């Protein structure tokens, strides 16, 4: 019977992850190849590293089905885990490969590989031998046209560049919210089949505004996870702002700052984005069948 006291050898697991004590460029400097900065929606390395440390042990397998420049993979192999990534765009998968090579040159001990392809078809992309072997999935859905990329001042104002995932319109990033949700559900369904029973899925997501209306992507992700047969277990916060003397130090992009200033000038009390939602799911011991996910009248169960 538990006494109610935490074992002294186990660190306390907090729901707020202090993952931006250093800026993104500082976190990546020397650890990632310079071309990594060109991806328009990079995950903070500290977010991936925190998830890997919290939910896996050395030697276990980590998967990122939309790995981009390979942040999850790099942090996994530096932590002595093995990793597999899937990436749709050849440009980013090439950079992910380069980042893995760079990590090994720096002494990373884990093994990692990147598979090029459509993550909505994981079963046909990855070896059948991986089924039930993955301990942790760490990923994030694409934000499509809401990403801002990099900026450069010019004679005609501020120019935006490196602000798209690629030109292939088959990329999940270019679907509308309904299409994105359906695609992400397919990805999570594929991940569930690869996870070991009791394995964990960590998804970072945040809402955005479209035509002034809030698009609640985190809630959409939770619904997709449920339909994929996963069980939501935690909802945490990964800070995108530093904590200094009990206060948050925001690190907004140029466009975030500009949008908030314009909104406040117009009387709309917008605030800077200082965190991402971290949605955590667990794979049950037995995955539900399609019939389990359908009620007696043929509609989705709730």
What's the chain's Rg over C-alpha atoms? 20
Residue 99: pLDDT over 70: yes
Higher-pLDDT residue of 167 and 163 is 167
Q: Please answer whether residues 40 and 253 qualify as being in contact, where contact means their C-beta atoms are separated by less than 8 angstroms.
A: no
With left for phi above 0 and alpha for psi between -120 and 50, is residue 30 left, alpha or beta? left
Position 297 scores a pLDDT of: 43
pLDDT, average across residues 151-174: 57
Residue 290: pLDDT over 80: no
At 293, which helix (H) or strand (E)? none
CA angle 165, 169, 170 (to 5 degrees): 100
- pLDDT tens-digit series, residues 37-81: 888 778 999 999 999 999 999 999 999 999 999 999 999 999 999
E strand spans, 104-149: 112-116, 134-139
Position 209 scores a pLDDT of: 73
CA distance 112 to 63: 10
Position 140 scores a pLDDT of: 93
CA distances from 265 to 64, 254, 270, 286 (A): 41, 17, 10, 53
Per-residue tokens: 202 = 């960590």
Q: Which of 2-11, 172-181, 231-240 is least confident?
A: 2-11
Q: pLDDT grade, residue 12 (50/70/90)?
A: low
CB burial string 217-238: b at 16+ within 10 A, e below: bbebbbbbbbbbbbeeeeebbb
DSSP 145-159: GG---EEEEETTEEE
Position 153 scores a pLDDT of: 57
92 alpha carbon, distance to own chain's centre = 15
User: What single DSSP character describes residue 123?
Assistant: H
Q: Please answer whether residues 38 and 89 qualify as being in contact, where contact means their C-beta atoms are separated by less than 8 angstroms.
A: no
DSSP 210-277: ETTEEE-HHHHHHHHHHHTT-EEEEEEEEESSEEETTEEE----HHHHHHHHHHHHTT-------EEE
At 182, which helix (H) or strand (E)? helix 177-194
Q: Which of 73-82, 169-178, 268-277 is least confident?
A: 169-178
β-pairing, 82-87 with 61-64?
parallel
Residue 155: pLDDT over 70: no
Q: pLDDT grade, residue 174 (50/70/90)?
A: low
β-pairing, 16-17 with 231-239?
parallel
- State which of 144-153, 209-218, 228-237 shows the largest mean pLDDT: 228-237
Residue 253: pLDDT over 60: yes
pLDDT, average across residues 116-139: 96
- 268 Cβ contact list (under 8 Å, min separation 6): 212
Q: Which pTM was predicted? A: 0.84
Per-residue tokens: 60 = 């276990």
Q: pLDDT grade, residue 289 (50/70/90)?
A: low
**What mean pLDDT is reported for the chain?**
85
């Amino acid at each position: 019977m538990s006494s109610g006291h935490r074992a002294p050898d186990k660190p306390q697991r907090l729901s707020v992850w202090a993952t931006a004590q250093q800026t993104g460029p500082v976190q990546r400097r020397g650890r990632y190849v310079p071309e990594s900065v060109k991806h328009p929606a990079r995950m903070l390395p500290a977010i991936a590293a925190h998830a890997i440390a919290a939910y896996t042990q050395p030697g276990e397998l980590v998967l990122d089905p939309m790995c981009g420049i390979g942040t999850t993979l790099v942090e996994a192999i530096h932590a002595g885990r093995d990793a597999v990534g899937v990436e749709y765009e050849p440009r980013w998968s090439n950079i992910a490969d380069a980042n893995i090579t760079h990590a090994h040159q720096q002494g990373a001990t884990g093994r990692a590989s990147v598979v090029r392809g459509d993550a909505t078809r994981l079963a046909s992309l990855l070896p059948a031998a991986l089924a039930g072997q993955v301990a942790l999935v760490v990923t994030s859905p694409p934000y499509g046209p809401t990403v801002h990329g990099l900026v450069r001042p010019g004679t005609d104002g501020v120019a935006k560049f490196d602000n798209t995932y690629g030109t292939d319109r088959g990329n999940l990033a270019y679907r509308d919210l309904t299409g994105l949700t359906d695609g992400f559900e397919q990805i999570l369904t594929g991940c569930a089949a690869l996870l070991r029973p009791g394995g964990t899925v960590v998804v970072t997501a945040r809402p955005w505004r479209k035509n002034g209306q809030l698009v609640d992507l985190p809630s959409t992700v939770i619904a997709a996870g449920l339909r994929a047969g996963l069980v939501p277990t935690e909802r945490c916060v990964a800070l995108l702002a530093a904590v200094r003397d009990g206060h948050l130090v925001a690190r907004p992009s140029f466009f975030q700052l500009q949008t908030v200033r314009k909104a406040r000038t117009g009387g709309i009390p917008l605030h800077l984005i200082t965190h991402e939602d971290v949605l955590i799911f667990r794979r049950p011991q037995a995955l539900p069948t399609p019939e389990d996910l359908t009620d007696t009248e043929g509609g989705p169960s709730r």
